Amino acid sequence: MHCTPFARTTARTAPALLAACLLAWTPAVAQEAEFKGEIRVTEVLLDVVVTDADGNVILGLGPDDFVIEDGSQEVELTDVTFYSNRRFLESANLAERLGVSPDEVPVDRYFLLFFDDPRQVYPDLSNQLLDSLRWARRWVHQELLPNDYVAVLSYDVKLKLHQDFTTDNEAVLRALDGVARGKDPGGNWPSRAALSEGPSLRQNLLQGEELSKATRKIYGALEAVADAAGYVIGRKNLLLFSVGFGDSGEFGLNPAAVSNLESTGFGTYQADERYYPHMMQELNDNNVAVYAVSYLENLADETFDQGLLNNGLSLVANDTGGEYYANFVNFRFPLREVVDDNNGYYLLAYKASVPEEDAYREVEVRTKNPSFVVRARKGYLTGG
């Protein structure tokens, strides 16, 4: 018997896109001819953050509270499950009404600290990078819970993995020091890469020269991270500290010296169609939400081209179900907001009819209560 996969079937698909083939066959008759057929059943799983206007997680929602449009067609939810990183101390009756088990084991959270190092392109932003690292150190001490896994990465002319997923806060702090020094940890080479126990980026990340070639642009770096993170089951939250990316226009930049910028027309921001759509689809397909944090804490101080590049951060955050942060007092605000934003999320399940060929399907998620703020990835890839 033969089964043709129509989507990824590895562990990375939960929660992402699951597909199964149900095979039917007819017993031998007359000349013992065998008949085969295939029935594709595709289930889509979407993790969705629902908050009020102040950012507080909304509890107690069910299938009737959501509206899902898959490829512009409204679909019916088959299941809604709420996951949280903390124990709820409400009474048993209240917890039951909210659909939360008060003694449920907290769910692991996954954070990727990704520092797009601006020192080669924008030396004047060096202090902002170092300041973000200082606040990240405080975040590790003050905000993280025992079941929070953190990985640390940086990017200048290539992707660097300073620390694989770990719950060891001291290891995270050492990795942040490595980012501050601009150190290349070198651990991605096959001869030096140690096997990790538990969730791991390094185990599935490109290595050596292959990684360097694939990550010459930041688009490729984010794609590589998304692909490696996809093998870790659950929602992954990528905190992208950056000045931005995309087509900046001709504002005195030297494109030959700036590996992650492209120069096109004057005066408009454009996502680079050669790289951006595929990067965004990889992030969504591997369940990675981007929380984009601008190094330009005060947008009044930005140059015109920097402002345009910052629009790239806003776009990728919106397209992946994350959030965009700029104009804040200090980096403590976005770091704490990301933690609070991931105190709980809903996993929505529904059946979908997808085309035979591999394709990217757009999805829109909203609630029937218009006052709720909903953040979810904008689509998924059918097939593998």
Residue spans of alpha helices (H) in 187-275 = 208-214, 218-229
pLDDT of amino acid 136: 97
Does the pLDDT at position 223 exceed 60?
A: yes
Residue 334: pLDDT band (50, 70, 90) is very high
| Contact between residue 291 and residue 136 where contact means Cβ atoms under 8 Å apart | no
pTM for this predicted structure: 0.74
Domain CATH code at residue 335: 3.40.50.410
What is the pLDDT at residue 205?
94
Distances (CA, A) of 262 to 78, 250, 338: 44, 9, 30
Assess whether 268 and 368 both reside in one domain.
no
Q: Do 178 and 323 fall within a single domain? A: yes
**What is the predicted pLDDT for the residue at 97?**
58
- Per-residue pLDDT, 292: 96
User: Is 243 in the same domain as 377?
Assistant: no
Whether residue 258 is found in the same domain as residue 370 = no
Q: 159 falls in which pLDDT band (50, 70, 90)? A: very high
Question: Strand runs (DSSP E) across 30-87, as ranges?
Answer: 33-51, 66-70, 73-75, 77-84
327 and 212 co-located in one domain: yes
Regarding whether 375 and 311 lie in a shared domain, the answer is: no
Kindly state whether residues 196 and 330 are assigned to the same domain. Answer: yes
Of 158, 128, 156, 122, residue with least CA distance to 252: 122
93 found inside a domain: no
Same domain, 331 and 358: no
One domain, residues 200 and 337: yes
Residue 49 located in a structural domain: yes
pLDDT band at 195 (very low <50, low <70, confident <90, very high): low
Range of the domain at 282: 109-341
Query: Nearest-CA neighbor of 242 among 293, 182, 166?
Result: 293
Whether residue 381 is predicted with pLDDT greater than 60 in this model: the reply is: yes
The answer to the question of residue 95 being in a domain is no
Residue 211 has pLDDT above 90, yes or no: yes
